[in-house]
Structure 1
Amino acid sequence: MSREQWCSSECWSRCMCWPIAIAPLGIFLYHKPTVPKCAKSNYSLWAPTPPLQLKFLLPTAFALSSLLMAAPVSAQAEVSAIYTLEVNRVTKGDVIVLVRGDDVLIPLQDLVNAGLREIGGRREIIQGIEHVSLQSLAPQMTFQRDDANLVLRLQVGAAQLPQTVIDFNPSNEPPGIRYSQPLSAYLNYGVFWNNFEQLTAASEVAISFGGNALTSTLGLTADGNLQRGLTAFRLDHRRHLTTLTLGDAFISSDLLGGGGLWGGIVWERNFGLSPYLIRQPAFDFRGEVTTPSSAEIYLNNLLIRQVTLPPGPFILKNLPAFGGFNRLRIVIKDAEGNQQVFSRNFVQSFTLLRPGLSEFIVAAGAERENFGTENFSYGDQGQFLAAYRQGILNNLTLGARLEGNGDLLNAGLNLSTAIPIGTLDVAAAVSTTEGKLGSGVAVGYNYPGRRLAFGGGVRLLSGNYVNTGLGLGDDRPQLEGFANATLSLGSRLTISGQYFFTNPRDQGVRQQATILAQVQLRRNLSLYLQGSRFLSGSDQPVNQISVTFNYFLNNAVTLNTGWLQQGNQGVPFLNVSRSLPAGVGYGYQGQVLQANEQAFVSGTFSYNAPWSRYQIGYAQAGDTGQAQVVVEGGFVTIGGEVFATRPVQGSFVLVDVPNVGGVRTYLSNQEIGRTNRRGKILIPDLLPYYGNALRIEDQDIPIDFAIGRTELLIAPPFRGGAIARFDVRPSRNYVGRVVILRGSERIIPNLGQLTLERNKEKILSPLSPRGEFYFDTLEAGTYTAEVTYEQLRCTFQLTLPPSDDLFTDVGEVSCSLPDSPR
């Protein structure tokens, strides 16, 4: 019950209105200040101006009232009052309490509604309501009565307050993302004319429906033979993050597993279906505050978030982190200005899975052989592979693998863990084939520091170790290892080094060491110094040194020049390139170098047209030259239409700005092109399942059109299309008058309402006193209309005529009701 409702009903007997007991009713009614916080509107009904003959009693009443109000309440006195309840400085609303001496009895439900938990204390039933003595709750809870402001202040421990959970990554999807999976298909083509003599071609076809895709590639060789590439039917289940593939697929597992290109069936976890999902362990922070507080979260000394914390325990879940070494600092400031700082260092590894999250692959089929030369050549033996990994703890992920065929069997275990000084990955496996046992061990370590990062790994395979990708007669590295390190010296200098070693069973030892220094001389000028040494068996070592300057002329053009010294031979070189834009435009690349007293010159020019891509290139080495002309493009069908376009890369989208041509369209703030005369443009290079940012230029839309959102976030399926329809419509405004006819009676729906409905969309217009209505940004057509006026409801069909005028008056329209019974 609100304060006003309670005052109006019970104030005169329970509102601490002391003058009731000491003065005539007229005097009391005149003494308004003694009624605490009662509504004036209610009070005025009870308090007329007192008659003159009673005014002589006012001084006496006021004096006695003041004495009683000022006197302390005795231990036996019980008075009901309304107080504003505050819990740990947070206002919870008004409550009706019973004041008994120095104690206050408050309804138990009011404390529950204020969020308090585990409430003990002495209980009493007063007028059928369970009350709690606040004095009996000490010392866990203390209270203070502010009778001057009628505020009851409670101070409780944080454990008695509700828990606040702030999840920094509830779904991690950007807000407003739209998943679109209409029926669509495309055909990519490419024609290659080599040296104006040989003609080859390539094509790719894909059909997408319901997020599933059927894809295949086909090529035409110079001698006229057809060459099949990969063919597969892929079914994606985005909610479960799984993909089922029937056909050709590349299979892989852990460091010791086999795989390769198989034809068969594959069922696997596919995190690419939810690219915003954070797979790695997330850090949670728990704490408690007793007053309203604020928290500032710093990651690697950068402020990334500020949150408000109400009193009570709290959890900050899924705090963000970067791959590598992280330093998290949380600064909490309470209402009194006190400050607490919490810090934690931890390592984030991409090989770790958060607890409860798993990844797997189950595959069965046959190895595809002679890929690129034969179309349907598969191995005679069937084979299988199954692997599973599960996040156990924040710093521990375990996995297992089993694979084999009719001749071999291989089983292995693996683990990934985070330690205070880096991450560690370990795998071990055993195999058997033809009665011979084999074994393998792999260990990898990585310290991903911010200034200094280093890592390495080693793999040992026995001579008889086999898996589905490594036969008994195949050569294998019995021992191989690598090491790398990167040192950042400020923002301008980075030094890195790599070392690789392998000892194949059937060949000589190979080693390679490389060191690279990158110097940022200016914002658009950098220097690369690289030296390497390569050893292979008993051959002489090969040393190589290079010096390269990279100069960025603008956002598109890059110039690099330098010197490459290999052994006793020096090679100067010069390269210039302009990147090809995402939309219509051109790009080029040119290179000049001198080697063995022979010049080498090459150049390529590319152009993106709205419906295709063209490229011409030429290379000259000494007296030998070669030219190539390339034409690429595609045809897409989506939304019942066919479009010519540049080759589809990944996925695509049809942007629809209904019937408005010439509107500039942007993908990730890069202009792609303009809509055609029907208001449509196809963009062929989107990322599947990501939120691709699309935008239209509202300045290109006529002024007499209404514009909704000009930006959309669209996520198309794999090898499929999406439709991004922007809410742009002619701003046609309709006015008119409506009357209700009931028999011979003509009723004006004064201040009623007219509702139009079409395609499950409702539009409302209030009616003027004369029954006039007004609708803006409506499309012409027939609508189901309903007039509501007092108790009347009348439905009819309203047709709005097409018009090029900004305002159209449809005149008077009527709705008929049956004559009322007499």
Structure 2
Amino acid sequence: MHCRTLRCWYSLLLFVLLLLIPLTAHAQDGQVALLTVFVNESPKGEIPFLVRDQDLLVPTSSLADLGLETIAASGSRETIDDRQYVSLASLAPDATYQFNEPDLSVRLQVDSSQLASTTVDLHRSAPDGIEYAQDTSFYLNYAPRLLDFHTFDAYAEAGLSVRGTLLWSSASMRPDGRVVRGLTHLTFDDRAAMHRWVVGDNFSSAGVLGGGAYAGGVTLSRNFDLDPYFVRGPSFGLAATALTPSTLDVYVNGVLVRQEQVEPGPVRVENLPLQSGTGVATYVLRDVFGNTQTEASPYYISNGVLRPGLSEYTYTVGLTRENAATESFSYEKPIALARYRVGATDAMTIGGRVEVGAGVASTGATLTAVTPVGLLDFAAGASGAHGNHAGAAWAFSWGYQNSPASLGLALRGMTDRYATVGLQPADDRAVLEVNAHTSLSISRGVSLGTRHALTEYRDNGLLAQMSLFGNFRVASGATLVSTATRTALPGGKTGNDFFMTFVVSLGRATSAQVSTHVQSDGHDEVITSVNRSRPRGIGAGYRATAAYANDTIDRAQVTGEAASAYGVHSARYDLESAPADPQAPRRSHLTLSTQGAIVFVPGIGLFATRPVQQAIGVVRVPGVPGVRGYLNNQEVGRTDGNGNLLVP
């Protein structure tokens, strides 16, 4: 029994020694400790270290998790029990550390350029879970008008939407009782590609120096409006460096647009919400110790410039529709138009166009550039037409906007026979156009400006006009506007006009104004008016105007308008100027009109409402009638007996 007991003790001692062998090995490599890590004062959690007398060893993978792969690659490495470690002491001077043994923490101080960057994106993205409805619906807009109780005309348009595809057509009835079809087309939208296909009637334009025409055919265009969250212009950003955990404030023209907590390291602010023109974007970076960095970056932004690689285009093939206002089916000449623009750099967009019609071909190139002194547009074109008519054209414009001032210059010229699908060689045209404008806001209540225009027609001579204008806020709710114009007409005739208007707010969307119009031909007049704007939703408005000349009422007009849940109704009375013949009777007219719509949404119901503009919405509170609906903070109606409200 004693022998057995000794054997047991020897066996137990051997087992303990075997357990102590790896622990001894670890003690030689360093003591294992779980330490709290701070990187540039930013807490990063707990990481296991090997603690030595003059150094700390940290697993390489842990440094990678902290975003310090680059720094770890420059340090001394050891492999212990098949795990790779890096010596913190070997990372100097890129990184230094302080080991606080009482609270078991390590504070790493790292060059901020070596830390992972933080991106603050100010782009307004689509909300999570957003859905673009493609419910089937139908609407009919109508607008009849009655003049003096004996002349009647009307306009109507109808649209049928099925799974996002819209069939749309319009028609009018003329005073002689003849019905004329307007435009008719089928529209397909590809929201992901921002493509819009139009099959049928459509107006197409080739842009600067190009022509335009109503045509029946097929049009493909890129339409950025299909994605309201898409950013088409170049991104403007700011760059900063946070040495410690910091608070970032971003301002655009003095207005705070974002406040963000950022980690130490490089910080990039992207997609700032900037308005067209000049301005200043500023960031303020405050660290944990109260130190502040501030930097302001001026910018000039234009909506005419596309971001690099992004393109927009319009392609049309079909037959021109002539006399669309009076004829229903007057398709005549074949036509093809193509216009293309692409962002070349952040500051430059280039493009081109091609037009081919009956007996005419025209082409050209465009360039749009943003510079520190404004937006520049260049265009050049060339054409050929039957009869050996060759032509050329050019255009240049420059515009500059900032908070106190706005400047602009536009020049355009063409030869006598330059042609497009909308301009034939025989047509009169402006062979030279010069337009310039300036405006200056002197204070919050005073602004001044000038306009200059010169147009030289090939057949009808020269027309020139110069205007000076001013806008003065006399008091709260009262403004004085004045304009002086000198005009030079073809044939050497000149004329001068002076117009001054005093506008005063009467509250509740009501205003009154008095205007004086002085002309060089001696036909001077004073115009008075009172106006109350109709609200967007349900409500009423009116406008009464009278013009006085030679101490009597020369002409007058009174208009009343009321909007209900079912339409917009108006009445207008016009008193014409006295005829030159004193024996002739003075004429007056009464016009009555109404505009409304009939809308059908399957599964919801049939509605009579105000005219549909571009879209409709349905507010549903099932079984609860009388609930008010608002659009832009204005009441637009109440739910019906089924709890439905249609918002046109």
Aligned to 1:635: 598
Find the aligned partners of 1:323 and 1:116 in 2 and give their Cα distance.
40
Equivalent of residue 90 in structure 1, options 31, 35, 42? 42
2:614 aligned with 1:650, yes or no? yes
Equivalent of residue 486 in structure 1, options 398, 420, 439? 439
80-89 or 282-291, larger mean C-alpha shift: 282-291
Find the aligned partners of 1:449 and 1:177 in 2 and give their Cα distance.
36
Find the aligned partners of 2:450 and 2:523 in 1 and give their Cα distance.
24
Counterparts in 2 of 1:391 and 1:427: CA distance versus 1, 3 Å: same
2:380 aligned with 1:428, yes or no? yes
Note the C-alpha offset of 1:365: 1.3
Find the aligned partners of 1:448 and 1:369 in 2 and give their Cα distance.
40
Note the C-alpha offset of 1:277: 3.0
Listed as ranges, the matches of 1:134-173 within 5 Å are: 134-169=88-123, 171=125, 173=126
Find the aligned partners of 2:382 and 2:29 in 1 and give their Cα distance.
86
Aligned residue identity for 1:128:
D
Note the C-alpha offset of 1:176: 7.5
Q: Is the 8 A contact 1:638 1:654 kept in 2?
A: no
Aligned to 1:767: none
Aligned to 1:185: 138
2:556 aligned with 1:601, yes or no? yes
Aligned to 1:223: 176
Aligned residue identity for 1:604:
T
Equivalent of residue 207 in structure 1, options 160, 165, 172? 160
Aligned to 1:310: 263
273-282 or 564-573, larger mean C-alpha shift: 273-282
Aligned to 2:8: none
Counterparts in 2 of 1:230 and 1:77: CA distance versus 1, 3 Å: closer
Q: Is the 8 A contact 1:665 1:674 kept in 2?
A: yes
Note the C-alpha offset of 1:649: 1.8
Counterparts in 2 of 1:176 and 1:602: CA distance versus 1, 3 Å: farther
Equivalent of residue 115 in structure 1, options 42, 50, 67? 67
Find the aligned partners of 1:666 and 1:425 in 2 and give their Cα distance.
43
CA deviations 1:607-662 (Å, max 9, x no partner) are 21211222111111242111111132211001331111122122211211110011
SS at match of 1:569: coil
Aligned to 2:510: 557
Q: What is the percentage of aligned positions where both structures have the same residue?
A: 34
Listed as ranges, the matches of 1:597-746 within 5 Å are: 597-621=552-576, 622=578, 623-640=586-603, 641-684=605-648
RMSD: 2.0
CA deviations 1:506-552 (Å, max 9, x no partner) are 11101111121111122211111111112211152121111111112
Note the C-alpha offset of 1:76: 6.3
Find the aligned partners of 1:281 and 1:521 in 2 and give their Cα distance.
41
Q: Is the 8 A contact 1:557 1:576 kept in 2?
A: yes
Aligned residue identity for 1:580:
R
Q: Is the 8 A contact 1:282 1:320 kept in 2?
A: no
Note the C-alpha offset of 1:174: 6.3
Counterparts in 2 of 1:646 and 1:319: CA distance versus 1, 3 Å: closer
Note the C-alpha offset of 1:330: 2.1
Q: Is the 8 A contact 2:340 2:352 kept in 1?
A: yes
Equivalent of residue 391 in structure 2, options 438, 443, 450? 438
Find the aligned partners of 1:453 and 1:174 in 2 and give their Cα distance.
36
353-362 or 299-308, larger mean C-alpha shift: 299-308
Counterparts in 2 of 1:179 and 1:277: CA distance versus 1, 3 Å: same
Q: Is the 8 A contact 2:389 2:425 kept in 1?
A: no
291-300 or 524-533, larger mean C-alpha shift: 291-300
SS at match of 2:134: coil
Note the C-alpha offset of 1:344: 2.0
Q: Is the 8 A contact 1:384 1:403 kept in 2?
A: yes
Equivalent of residue 302 in structure 2, options 335, 340, 349? 349
Find the aligned partners of 2:303 and 2:497 in 1 and give their Cα distance.
34
Counterparts in 2 of 1:626 and 1:82: CA distance versus 1, 3 Å: same
Structure 2 stretches of 5 or more lacking a match?
1-15, 17-22, 579-585
Q: Is the 8 A contact 1:282 1:321 kept in 2?
A: no
Equivalent of residue 329 in structure 1, options 282, 289, 300? 282
The list of structure 1 runs, each at least 4 consecutive aligned residues, that deviate by more than 6 angstroms after superposition, is none
Aligned to 1:576: 530
Find the aligned partners of 1:436 and 1:616 in 2 and give their Cα distance.
53
Aligned residue identity for 1:99:
V
Equivalent of residue 411 in structure 1, options 356, 359, 363? 363
TM-score under structure 2 length normalisation? 0.91
Aligned residue identity for 1:358:
S
2:58 aligned with 1:106, yes or no? yes
SS at match of 1:82: strand
Find the aligned partners of 1:204 and 1:494 in 2 and give their Cα distance.
43
Aligned to 2:427: 474
Aligned to 1:721: none
Counterparts in 2 of 1:195 and 1:176: CA distance versus 1, 3 Å: farther
Q: Is the 8 A contact 1:217 1:230 kept in 2?
A: yes
2:304 aligned with 1:340, yes or no? no
Note the C-alpha offset of 1:352: 1.0
SS at match of 1:619: strand
CA deviations 1:755-788 (Å, max 9, x no partner) are xxxxxxxxxxxxxxxxxxxxxxxxxxxxxxxxxx
Structure 1 stretches of 5 or more lacking a match?
1-12, 14-19, 22-74, 685-822
Q: Is the 8 A contact 1:77 1:101 kept in 2?
A: no
Find the aligned partners of 2:301 and 2:485 in 1 and give their Cα distance.
31
Find the aligned partners of 2:609 and 2:280 in 1 and give their Cα distance.
48
Listed as ranges, the matches of 1:295-306 within 5 Å are: 295-306=248-259
Note the C-alpha offset of 1:276: 4.0
Find the aligned partners of 1:564 and 1:599 in 2 and give their Cα distance.
13
Note the C-alpha offset of 1:254: 2.4
Find the aligned partners of 1:77 and 1:389 in 2 and give their Cα distance.
66
Note the C-alpha offset of 1:319: 1.8
Note the C-alpha offset of 1:406: 4.0
Aligned to 1:735: none
SS at match of 1:139: coil
Aligned residue identity for 2:96:
T
Note the C-alpha offset of 1:569: 2.4
Q: Is the 8 A contact 2:546 2:553 kept in 1?
A: no
Equivalent of residue 588 in structure 1, options 542, 552, 556? 542
Find the aligned partners of 1:520 and 1:637 in 2 and give their Cα distance.
49
Find the aligned partners of 1:202 and 1:292 in 2 and give their Cα distance.
64
Q: Is the 8 A contact 2:206 2:355 kept in 1?
A: no
CA deviations 1:359-416 (Å, max 9, x no partner) are 111111122111211111122x211111111111111111111111242221111111
Note the C-alpha offset of 1:178: 4.8
Aligned residue identity for 1:574:
T
Q: Is the 8 A contact 2:100 2:106 kept in 1?
A: yes
SS at match of 1:628: strand
Aligned residue identity for 1:676:
D
Q: Is the 8 A contact 1:76 1:101 kept in 2?
A: no
Q: Is the 8 A contact 1:291 1:311 kept in 2?
A: yes
SS at match of 2:206: coil
Aligned to 1:278: 231
Q: Is the 8 A contact 1:412 1:430 kept in 2?
A: yes
Aligned residue identity for 1:591:
T
